[in-house]
Amino acid sequence: MPRVVVIGSANVDFTVRLPRLPRAGETVSGGEFYRCFGGKGANQAVAALRAGAEVRFLAKLGKDPMGEQLRDHLEGLGLPGRYLLFDESAPTGTALILVDQEGKNLIGVAPGANRTLSQEEVKSCADLFDWGELLLCQLEVPLEAVEAALSLGREKGMKTLLNPAPVSPLPEKTLGLVDVITPNEGEAKSITNCENVQEAARRLSEMGPSQVILTLGKQGVFYLKNGEPCCMPSYRVRAVDTTGCGDAFNGALACALAEGRGLEEAVRFGAAAGALAATVKGAQDAMPFREEIMSLMGGKAEK
């Protein structure tokens, strides 16, 4: 079984499903409320676990009832609780999410304890990097913690994967520690200052990562294979909530790469997981299981 280490955020999500998304200053009524668990790190850890990997997840929670509930939830899914740290002074991270009838969303995040994860705490969990084969990080925790993890992962011979979300300035020294990078279109353009997808991908490859994969939503996935541009159309599904689609893609991709799958097959595996996540409400609850992913892959990806 492939061994994946995920370092990132864990949140409690408060979601309202509305007939449509409100404009600035407008109230839209008639919605359905539900609470679930999220955070890019936790979502991707659950996605990798359900996709077939053995997963260890390092995160920081608030020492409060929501943090305890989140810990119990993650442990119940099969993620070891010993790497879930607690902060006595900061609350557990929360996200407020609005979703329309087509699955499109608006998200605001109060990171809370996620923003207190330090490089010292990452280094204190050195056994993770001896154990794992692939390291998956995002940017909802401090950059210094991400850099410490990437550096340790590289030192221990792990494959390193960075999902640069939410987008923020990335020093080239950080990108130099990354083997695989998976921005969406907007993140890629922001990091590189390139307006063209293909130009942005090439610029990213020049900045360090040997494998560049851009997720384009309904338009599928663009990636470079041996320097050559490749496109993979998305799987056609009926979208209910797109909140966790990118996280499902990244977690499943991490699992596939850790298994030793080739780039094209790993991207297809991730794309199938991302599509399936759009068909279920919520974030972590929407992460598909391996059998579901393989079943969808049995059909042809369509534009």
Active site residues: 247
CA 269 remoteness from chain centre: 15
Burial 196-219 (b: 16+ CB within 10 A, else e): ebeebbbbbbebbbebbbbbbbee
Instruction: State the DSSP code for 88.
Output: S
Q: What is the phi/psi pair of residue 116, to 5°?
A: -105, 0
Q: Two tokens at 116?
A: 């207190």
Interhelix angle 40-51/245-258, nearest 10 degrees: 50
- Which are the contacts of 247, defined by CB distance < 8 A and separation ≥ 6? 40, 43, 44, 47, 277, 283, 287
Q: Is residue 239 classed as helix, strand or coil in its secondary structure? A: coil
Q: What is the dihedral of CA 229, 216, 144, 191, to 10 degrees?
A: 70
- Which are the contacts of 261, defined by CB distance < 8 A and separation ≥ 6? 269
Other beta carbons within 10 Å of 14:
14
Q: Is residue 176 classed as helix, strand or coil in its secondary structure? A: coil
